[in-house]
Amino acid sequence: MQSFRLLVGILILSVLILDESRTCIAQGLKTATTTVKCSRKHSAVLTEFGGVGDGVTSNTKAFKAAVDHLRPLASDGGAQLIVPPGKWLTGSFNLTSNFTLFLHKDAVILASQEESEFPILQPLPSYGLEKNSTGRFSSLIMGTNLTDVVITGNNGTIDGQGKSWWTKFKAHELNAVRPLLIEILFSRDIQIFNLTLLNSPSWFVHPVYSSNIIVQGLTILAPVDVPNTDGINPDSCTNTRIEDCFIVSGDDCIAIKSGFDQHGIKMAMPSEHIIIRRLTCISPDSATIALGSEMSGGIKDVRAEDVTAIDTQAALRIKTAPGRGGYIKDIFTRRFILKTMQYVFRVNEFYKTHAEGYDPTLLSDVSNINCRDMVAENVTVPAEYEVLPGNTFTGICISNTTMTLFPDFKTSFKVETWDLLPHNSKNIDCPYPQDKLPIEDVPLKTCSL
């Protein structure tokens, strides 16, 4: 265990050092220490609107005033708000279209711990009251009905200061669902990259009902014993690219979702055409990549490659339940390196809560799941399948996969309980798509110092 913790420390330090060299794209705007050059025509610095970076003074009004000032200018060549070096305490604030929020490498946005700084919102339409019966606190950084939004920096930091929220959550002292760190709704052309995200009260990055999304070069860190600190959760999103992220979490590193029971079915917005590359995940109690459990709108065409997981509960987890409906299909993974895993594959069709009035006869279609070129060391259980009687998974393919079991491993797992493919003399190679998704060719709107 000590050697593992040392390894984790070295990995985190290495990522942070590498991130120091990352450059991020304004127009000759000078901050206290440097010049930021980006592709936006109009620029402003947070201090121009009364911002004080002492880590104590609230900057909620300053952030809101800055965005309000830039909003009418953004339609003419775009606008950017520069967050200079300092510690900038703030509550929830909204972004605007054709806009870049840029954090200097020595800038830290600190989330306020005052509940009054986070207005309570109505439940998301694809989740209904059952998930958010008392409402949900607005996220720290929000945007709705936006186009062309960039949140980036030279590895600047956004710290959710989640400890007080976690404490209240465990003590059942909150009157609404914990805030997220970044949430973008009903939007398109969203890029979030080259940042360090810390200690979110709940999920870190939540694009929902959106398209053309890039999440790249994020370092996401949360205590591994805090629930619901998911790293990146595309939710009813299409054309999404997630690359080069390092995540330590108390929940799933990436969870792909699309709504809850009849609410998600009615919304009918699937998550599809998603590519995940070069992800590193540490999550002892959850999954590297989870599909569901809120998946009633459907999940389709998810591709993941070159993924590393260390001391993580499962590499790929499928979560659904009677009443979810929807589908999970056309899932492709390859080149996974897994070290110290409780499971490699985990499927649970009896997953937890439901919406009031849900139809328990609605089952989920899980089909065409393809996993290839995986190496797993120190595995406790290769696969766990908790499936409904009579519900059939079809087209499950695993090829060129090596698993080394944990010493003294014992199991009642019997491969003959599966319906195997007909035997032939050729090796089976699970498919992986050869075409490109449209989002793969979209360039980052980078900034340079």
For the stretch 292-315, pLDDT in tens is: 999 999 999 999 999 999 999 999
Tens of pLDDT along 350-360?
877 788 888 98
Greater confidence (279 vs 131) lies with 279
The enclosing domain of 338 has a CATH number of 2.160.20.10
**Which residues are catalytic, by number?**
251
d(CA 363, CA 354): 13
Give the residue among 108, 85, 101, 87 at the shortest CA–CA distance from 33: 85
Q: How far is CA 316 from CA 159, 291, 326, in A?
A: 28, 8, 19
State residue 32's pLDDT score. Answer: 41
- In this predicted structure, the answer to whether residue 20 has a pLDDT above a threshold of 60 is no
> Residue 211, preceding bond cis, omega within 30 degrees?
no
Q: Residue 163: helix, strand or coil by DSSP?
A: helix
- The arithmetic mean of pLDDT across residues 56-80, rounded, is 98
Segment among 6-20, 216-230, 406-420 with least mean pLDDT: 6-20
- In this predicted structure, the answer to whether residue 291 has a pLDDT above a threshold of 50 is yes
Looking at residue 102, its amino acid is F
The CA R_g of the chain, rounded to the nearest whole Å, is: 22
pLDDT-derived band of residue 253, with 50, 70 and 90 as boundaries? Answer: very high
State residue 407's pLDDT score. Answer: 78
pLDDT-derived band of residue 424, with 50, 70 and 90 as boundaries? Answer: low
* DSSP states along 1-23: -HHHHHHHHHHHHHHHHHHHT--
- The arithmetic mean of pLDDT across residues 147-160, rounded, is 98
Segment among 73-87, 121-135, 289-303, 420-434 with least mean pLDDT: 420-434
d(CA 345, CA 221): 24
Average pLDDT value for the chain: 89
- The arithmetic mean of pLDDT across residues 399-403, rounded, is 94
State residue 26's pLDDT score. Answer: 36
In a domain, 104, yes or no: yes
Q: Residue 169: helix, strand or coil by DSSP?
A: helix
In a domain, 36, yes or no: no
Segment among 273-287, 339-353, 379-393, 411-425 with least mean pLDDT: 411-425
* DSSP states along 85-106: SEEEEE--EE--SSEEEEE-TT
d(CA 6, CA 33): 35
Q: How far is CA 64 from CA 69, 95, 299, in A?
A: 9, 9, 36
Report which secondary-structure segment, H or E, holds 383: strand 365-386
- In this predicted structure, the answer to whether residue 340 has a pLDDT above a threshold of 90 is yes
At 88, phi and psi to the nearest 5? -110, 95
Q: What is the residue whose two structure tokens read 């493919």?
A: 421
Angle at 307 between CA 305 and CA 311, to 5 degrees: 155
State residue 13's pLDDT score. Answer: 41
Percent of the chain with pLDDT over 90: 78
In a domain, 227, yes or no: yes
In a domain, 420, yes or no: no
Tens of pLDDT along 220-250?
999 999 999 999 999 999 999 999 999 999 9
- The arithmetic mean of pLDDT across residues 71-90, rounded, is 98
pTM score of the predicted model = 0.91
pLDDT-derived band of residue 446, with 50, 70 and 90 as boundaries? Answer: confident
Tens of pLDDT along 200-218?
999 999 999 999 999 999 9
Q: Domain containing 55: what range? A: 43-415+425-446
pLDDT-derived band of residue 138, with 50, 70 and 90 as boundaries? Answer: very high
- In this predicted structure, the answer to whether residue 415 has a pLDDT above a threshold of 80 is no
In a domain, 403, yes or no: yes
State residue 58's pLDDT score. Answer: 99
- In this predicted structure, the answer to whether residue 130 has a pLDDT above a threshold of 80 is no
d(CA 215, CA 55): 27
- The arithmetic mean of pLDDT across residues 384-402, rounded, is 86
- In this predicted structure, the answer to whether residue 258 has a pLDDT above a threshold of 50 is yes
For strand 287-291 and strand 254-256, is the pairing parallel, antiparallel, or unpaired?
A: parallel
Greater confidence (392 vs 230) lies with 230
Greater confidence (12 vs 285) lies with 285
State residue 410's pLDDT score. Answer: 59
Beta-carbon-side half-sphere exposure of residue 313 (alpha carbons within 13 Å): 19
The answer to whether the CB of 293 falls within 8 A of the CB of 325 is: no
In a domain, 392, yes or no: yes
Number of domains into which the chain is organized: 1
Percent of the chain with pLDDT over 70: 86
- In this predicted structure, the answer to whether residue 19 has a pLDDT above a threshold of 50 is no
pLDDT-derived band of residue 23, with 50, 70 and 90 as boundaries? Answer: very low
In a domain, 20, yes or no: no
Tens of pLDDT along 100-120?
999 999 999 999 999 999 999
In a domain, 8, yes or no: no
State residue 38's pLDDT score. Answer: 75
Give the distance from CA 8 to its chain's centroid: 20
Task: Please return the burial class of 385, using the count of CB atoms within 10 Å of its CB with bins 0-12, 13-18 and 19+.
Answer: middle
